[in-house]
Structure 1
Amino acid sequence: MIKALLSKITRKQLIIGGIVLGVLFVGFIIAFAIVYHKREALLASTITRVQTKLANDYQIDLNIGRAYFSGLATVSLENVNVTPRGREQLAGVKHASVSVKLFPLITGDVRLGQLRAYDAHIRLMKKDSLSNYDFIFQEPDSAALATDDERLTEGDDSAINMARTINRMLNNVLYKIPEDMELRNFTITYHDDSTHQRISVPKADITNGNLTSAVFLNDNKAAWQVSGKLRPGKRQLYVKVHANGQRIALPLLERKFGLKLSFDTIETRLSEVYWTNNERLHIKGEWAVKNLLIDHWRIAQEHVVVPDAHIDAEVVVGEKHIELSNSSTVTVKKLKIHPYFRYTTFPTKTYAVGVETPEMDAQDLFDAFPKGLFESLEGIRVAGRIRYKMDAFLDTSNPDSVRFNSDMEQKGFKVNAWGKANIPKINGTFVYTPYEEEQPVRDIIVGPENPDFIPLNEISSNLKNAILTTEDPSFFTHNGFVEEAIRSSIATNYKEKAFKRGGSTISMQLVKNVYLNRNKTIVRKLEEILIVWLMESTRAVSKERMFEVYLNIIEWGRNVYGITEAARYYFGKHPSDLSIGESIYLASIVPRPKSGLYSFTWSGGLKPYILPYFRYIGNIMARRGLTPSDSSGDYGFYSVSLRESLRPERPVTIDTLQLDMPPTDFDADLEQMRGLLDRIFGKDSNQTENP
């Protein structure tokens, strides 16, 4: 084929082609000669532009003692200093030389070939509230920085093509990694009013992409070994950090944030970066750590040790979304988890989150828990097979449409030994200790031995139905969790931009009170969820017994615990005699029991602000057949009368405004409850709210 093509080329065409190539070659030589002779001027012009941009955009002075070409494509710099205006010097280097690769320059890519740096330093200084590095946290105008091909073409000129933007950012990092480097006497120091840290690197080399370095912390108190394989041109990196059998600690985190963090070895790998259909950018990598220790009072009461963890991750970036693929895998011992996350920016912002595990031996789940993470579950032994799947989706333009689904498949699951939690203990008499401000109040015997303990069948049905309606309407039918309550919680918390609603069931409240300590740590909620699942899925405790214990231990006022104490304290009654009005009132103060007395006037009646609550809850109970319909619509509101000895003194003048003022934003709390109960029961309950 090639011979046939050559045979068709005439001598005249060959001459013309040769002339064209010759002209191009001569033009290239001339251009190269011009650039070569003017390169010093070009270098000076480039430095001036950089200095001007740093000064204008970040108020940083860049001073260079001398800059010159020391080779065809090598620039040498001497006595370079970087100083934010009005602050301490940030960085400096006595001598550095940098060479760039020529061929990538043709396409506009600046890729480093060699880097030499001697006597370099970075000094991070903070005094009071001023630092010499705060410019780092200034937000750049990302829309202005994006190139034309990084913008979306769907009508919104300000929207960024995320795939091309991240690809450009990744290139900017990778292409600045030299394949050959010689670094000598490099130090990083951090100093503030209470902390001083120093990291020194006497020697770091990259030879043909092979990284070797030693890092010393605080004048050789700790020595780290850093090695790796760097192939930035192929978009591949591998770095390993260890300390020759010793633990690597980060004391700065402990001094600044109280976080103890240490490990034996950590490895990270960028294995592959590629495009599909020139639209989706795929980034694959790995991360592994051995004997990771985490200790912080907000995370767990005891330090948490992860002996071995490995993450295989694939991030996929498109024009309008970034996604952690569900092919990603987190491995801890024999436990494998496939997480999923997707964030979309256009046309509306949406979030999708998912977690899935393959079918596995149930014991593998509990064996994978790091030591110190879930104290109450230590020693548990289970049998059977399990598989878990959860997915959630939130459209920020319509938070109330949030989706949440959770499913735990079980095959022959059972508990052979309960460990520290001993969930079945509440089937008999036990001692419950309530806490106030992390201090024990008193011991309460939960059982017939306590004269204030009352069996479930002796408690007024008015009280039981009111509590179930307000706290957990589907308690006797759910498996410990109510997905509708979780969906409502997500929607409310997003709209409020704060944690306003938790979505706890009676099962979860019982577990929190009886089985868990009062340490407010992040993992306690996860521990609560696990114990609820164990209690409900194994039927270790009946629903009736759970509800009975719950009503006998929950707080209803200052040092008032259990329904017997509450009925006697507020109304001088036995729990079996509580009216519908008294029951709705007691249900209303469960979320904030210490504010209960504020609801009453000096005459013993309830303040007007609570009347809409009575009407709303009463109407729902009537619709469900839990109480007779009240034609007046007040459901016993006006018959509730506080015990006389608890009533405040009669004021000299009656301030009607104070009668209408709740202790907190009661209307907002009521609206949150409406949101959940309306989703469960429908909105017909509002139709008869006002008689």
Structure 2
Amino acid sequence: MHLPKIKIPKKYVKIGAWVLGVFLLVFISLGAIAYSKREALLKKMMAKAITKADKDYGLEIKIGSAGFTGLSSVNMKNISVVPKDRDTLSTINDITIGVKIFPLLFGNVKLSEINLNQGKLNIVLKDSLTNLDFILKRKKKDSTTSTNKVALSDLASNLLNEVFYKIPDDMEIKNFLMQLNDNDTASLKFLTTSATIDNGELKSNILVNDTAATWHVNGKLRPSSKRLNIMLFADGKKVELPYLERKLHTKVNFDTVKTEMKDAAYSGDDYKISGSWSVKNLLINQKRISSADVIVPDAKVDADMLIGENYICLDSTSTVFLKKASIHPYLKYTLSPNKIYELKLNAEEQDAQAIFDSFPLGLFESLEGIQVKGKLKYNLNFYLDSSLPDSVKFNSTLTPTDFKIVKWGKTDLQKINSTFVYTPYEYGKPMRNITIGPSNPNFTRLDDISSNFKNALLTSEDPSFFRHKGFVEESIRKSIAVNFKEKRFKRGGSTISMQLVKNVFLSRQKTLARKAEEILIVWLIENNKLISKQRMLEVYFNIIEMGQNVYGIGEAARHYFGKTPAELTTGEGIFLANIVPKPKVALYKFMSDGSLKGYLLPYFNFIGNTMARRGLTAADTSGYGFYNVRLREGLRQYLLPDSVVIDTNKIEGEEDDMMPPGGMQDKSKNLFDRIFGSPKKDTVIKTPVKTDTVKTKKQLRQERREQRRKENEEGG
């Protein structure tokens, strides 16, 4: 195929040539003028920038000398940056910066080179002040004056562009010190003795805390295509920072960390960032996570992040790899008009042993060494709209296929099917050994426990115990809604199965790892029918704490009423069910004559009516035995006078370990304490007392001490 020839008259060719020639002449002339006046323009721009920094940020910037060293390179010497009324932030002896000419014509400042010799970045923390406060000052000012909302996708694109624009094609840095001074009690130093970028190849040598370690950040950079692949490692040892251990009480170290950005571009209206992150031999030691070192030998995340107009999302195309196991996460946080939190986890059916082998070492101590057969599949779905917390969605499913336990790990999960020794703990300390079996005179078979107590406790604690498989999703869902609205851990979602596993198989240390291990062990027991429901309930009734050093229904029935568990009435059964969440306050619920205080009557009616509707007891209009409950006479001498009012809600109770009762969390100072609460001290919490009598505070304190002493003697 031949294209037709287009004939252009010669006069138009001449006109075009003249126009182009004039344009080039004007461009060259303007360039020549600009070149001849560039030193003056540079000084003017620098003066403007210094004035703006002082006005907007309160920064005093001084530059000893500045001048062009080439067509587009500027050399500056003796630079200092000092925030107002703060320590010097930065000093630089000598730096040369080059920019690319063509992008500059369109208003984009892209660096072509950086050469820095001798510099320092100094961050100083003094109480609640730092020499970086000027950043917050500017943000606050901007937030009050700006009215135009910018889409998050555009912000992400602009921010990423600015970052990549500032990565030069060529770089050479020598002796640049970054230092953190924390209230003159701790410091952190990074001295970059050399760092270069040559043809996209990044190499660096960084001395940490003078001679503590030598780090390297090496890799490849392709800023023009928004790609990078860098790795952090140390010479002959792990990468670690004792400073973090001192500040957050958290030990973290690893062999190598790699991060790769593969692409960043708009996908429709969303801005999509694709990349990966991996770590080798990661070690974490944090008492809120686990009591032991948690070691992750090999982990990798292939991530696709989507940033929309009002949300940030980790897409479900992302994959988390732990050894040979994998899972697809979906995380989405929507900022407006309401904050919405979404989480989905999808682990496709895969080898069960590969999943158990992928667990980090030290995370699930009881299950280490367990051998299984078959396959497992897992799905989780969570959705919470902050404007409608009661409509929260939650479901979690672990689906087995031909799953079977071949060999136990460190713990035999069927040990409670026969006689065993149970050791209860108080505030982290063992109380005494209790034999759960016929040789213990207080041990009570399930058939020998009054149905009044069994039905009352199941009604109040776990009504669907015989129907569920260890978990009640609706209870967990309601707990999430309540805790979100209260902005604290007020309600737990534990079943009797979970409480049993927590007490019998696991340590009493309150960690995330222990909570996760509890959930997994409950699933193993319930779904594999390792222990019958009847035996689980029997053991639970015989180990449950029901007072100061009172454990099990056998001890409780004798302690409070001088009866056997088979002789308990409806009212006594409801009372004992009532004290289970907070067993240490049991005696505070009695009047001096041994009768119950009136505020318990609504509880008796509620539990009793619920039992009656389910056919577990006869309907009753007189409080379901409330007026017939009488504390045995031997304990009445230890009761407080009726005029003393005790706020039992402020007395510590043993609720779900990760769900401390409201009002009991200490004011914490570090991140992990704010999330999980402060640890309990090995002391009994003193209870504030309100009184309408004329007794002095000293007299009341003496009475309380005497009562506690007598209770301890009686319990012993």
1:637 is aligned to 2:636: no
Whole-angstrom distance in 1 between the partners of 2:409 and 2:189: 45
Query: Structure 1 residue 664: deviation in Å?
Result: 3.8
Matches within 5 A, 1:52-451: 52-135=51-134, 140=139, 159-192=149-182, 193-277=184-268, 279-451=269-441
- Distance in 1, Cα, partners of 2:136 & 2:517: 36
Instruction: Give the match's secondary structure for 1:372.
Output: coil
Match of 2:690 in 1: none
SS at 1:423 equivalent:
coil
Residue type of the partner of 2:339?
A: K
| Partners of 2:577 and 2:290 in 1: CA distance | 33
The superposition leaves residues 171-199 of structure 1 with CA deviations (integer Å, 9 ceiling, x where unpaired) of 12121111210101111222333323322
Match of residue 561, structure 1, among 533, 536, 551: 551
> Cα offset for 1:533?
1.0
Q: Give the distance between the partners of 1:2 and 1:319, measured in 2 at CA.
A: 50
Are 2:590 and 2:639, in contact at CA under 8 Å, matched by a contact in 1? no
2:56 and 2:138 in contact (8 A); partners too: no
1-structure distance, mates of 2:564, 2:145: 72
Task: Give, in whole Å, the separation in 2 of the partners of 1:367 and 1:138.
Answer: 50
Aligned equivalent of 1:618: 608
Report if aligned partners of 1:601, 1:648 keep a CA contact under 8 Å in 2: no
Contact 2:591 2:642 in 1 (8 A): no
Corresponding residue SS for 2:608: helix
Amino acid at match of 1:597: L
**Partner Cα distance (2:89, 2:37) in 1:** 32
Contact 1:84 1:132 in 2 (8 A): yes
Task: Give the Cα separation in 1 of the matches to 2:452 and 2:273.
Answer: 60
8 Å contact kept, 2:545–2:551: yes
Instruction: Quickly say closer, same or farther: Cα 1:596–1:183, change in 2 above 3 A.
Output: same
Once structures 1 and 2 are overlaid, which stretch shifts more, 304-313 or 604-613?
A: 604-613
In 2 relative to 1, CA 83–611 (structure 1 residues): closer, same or farther, beyond 3 Å? farther
For each residue in 1:562-615, what CA deviation from the matched residue of structure 2 results, as whole angstroms up to 9, or x when unmatched? 111112222222212222222222222212111222222223232333333223
Matches of 1:315 and 1:413, distance apart in 2: 35
Would the aligned equivalents of 1:197 and 1:252 in 2 still touch at CA under 8 Å? yes
CA contact (8 A) 1:143 1:160 kept: no
Structure 1 residues 550, 368: closer, same or farther in 2, change over 3 A?
Answer: same
Distance, in Å, in 1 between the alignment partners of 2:310 and 2:618 is: 55
- For 1:205, the aligned partner's letter is T
> Which residue identity is paired with 1:294?
I
Secondary structure class of the residue paired with 1:619:
helix
Q: Which deviations, in whole Å up to 9, do the C-alpha atoms of 1:267-312 show, x marking residues without a partner?
A: 11111112122x1111011111111122222221221221111111
Amino acid across the alignment from 1:341? L
Q: CA deviation at 1:17?
A: 4.1
TM-score by length of 2: 0.86
Partner of residue 675, structure 1: none
| Amino acid of the structure 2 residue aligned with 1:537 | N
- Per-residue CA deviations over 1:386-432 (Å, capped at 9, x if unaligned) read 11111110011100000011111111101111111211000000011
Aligned to 1:51: 50
SS of equivalent to 2:263 = strand
Q: Displacement of 1:213 after TM fit? A: 1.0
Instruction: Give the C-alpha shift of residue 55 in structure 1.
Output: 3.4
When normalised by structure 1's length, the TM-score is 0.89
Q: Distance in 2 between matches of 1:473 and 1:417?
A: 33
Question: 458-467 or 246-255, which moves further after superposition?
Answer: 246-255
Check conservation: 2:496, 2:540, Cα contact below 8 A.
yes
Task: Give me the whole-angstrom Cα distance separating, in 1, the residues matched to 2:46 and 2:512.
Answer: 50
Which residue is 2:567 aligned to? Answer: 577
Residues 127-136 or 546-555, more deviating:
127-136
Q: 1:519-530 counterparts in 2 under 5 A?
A: 519-530=509-520
Pick closer, same or farther for the CA change 1:138–1:418 going to 2, 3 Å: farther
What is the alpha-carbon distance in structure 2 between the residues aligned to residue 336 and residue 40 of structure 1?
59
Q: Cα distance 1:53–1:490, how it changes in 2: closer, same or farther (>3 A)?
A: farther
Q: Deviations for 1:207-259, whole angstroms, at most 9, x for unmatched residues?
A: 12110111122223322232110111110011112234532222222232232
SS of the residue corresponding to residue 359 of structure 1 reads strand
Q: Distance in 1 between matches of 2:571 and 2:477?
A: 30
Distance 1:58 1:448, change over 3 A: farther
C-alpha displacement of 1:518: 1.4
**Would you say how many aligned residue pairs link Structure 1 and Structure 2?**
653
For residues 471 and 16 of structure 1, the distance between their equivalents in structure 2, rounded to whole angstroms, comes to 94
Shift of 1:561: 0.7
**Tell me, what secondary structure is at the counterpart of 1:546?**
helix
Q: CA deviation at 1:141?
A: 5.0
Range that drifts further, 571-580 or 433-442: 571-580
Q: Secondary structure at the match of 2:139?
A: coil
Matches within 5 A, 1:478-497: 478-497=468-487
Counterpart CA distance in 1 for 2:458 and 2:604 is 15
Q: Distance in 1 between matches of 2:11 and 2:508?
A: 93
Native 8 Å contact 1:146 1:165 kept in 2 = no
Letter in 2 for 1:575: P
Tell me by how many angstroms 1:34 deviates. 5.1
What is the CA-CA distance between 1:651 and the residue it aligns to?
Answer: 7.7
Matches within 5 A, 1:6-21: 6-7=6-7, 9-21=8-20
Q: Which segments of 5 or more consecutive residues in structure 2 lack a partner in the other structure?
A: 660-716
Cα distance in 1 for residues equivalent to 2:380 and 2:25: 66
Moved more, 517-526 or 579-588: 579-588
1-structure distance, mates of 2:285, 2:43: 52
Preserved contact between residue 247 and residue 263 of structure 1 (Cα < 8 Å): yes
Equivalent AA in structure 2 for residue 89 of structure 1: T
Q: Distance in 1 between matches of 2:14 and 2:619?
A: 105
In 2, Cα distance between equivalents of 1:233 and 1:510:
59
Contact 1:388 1:409 in 2 (8 A): yes
Q: Give, in angstroms, the shift of residue 469 of structure 1.
A: 1.7
SS of the aligned residue for 2:500 comes to helix
Moved over 6 A (4+): 648-653
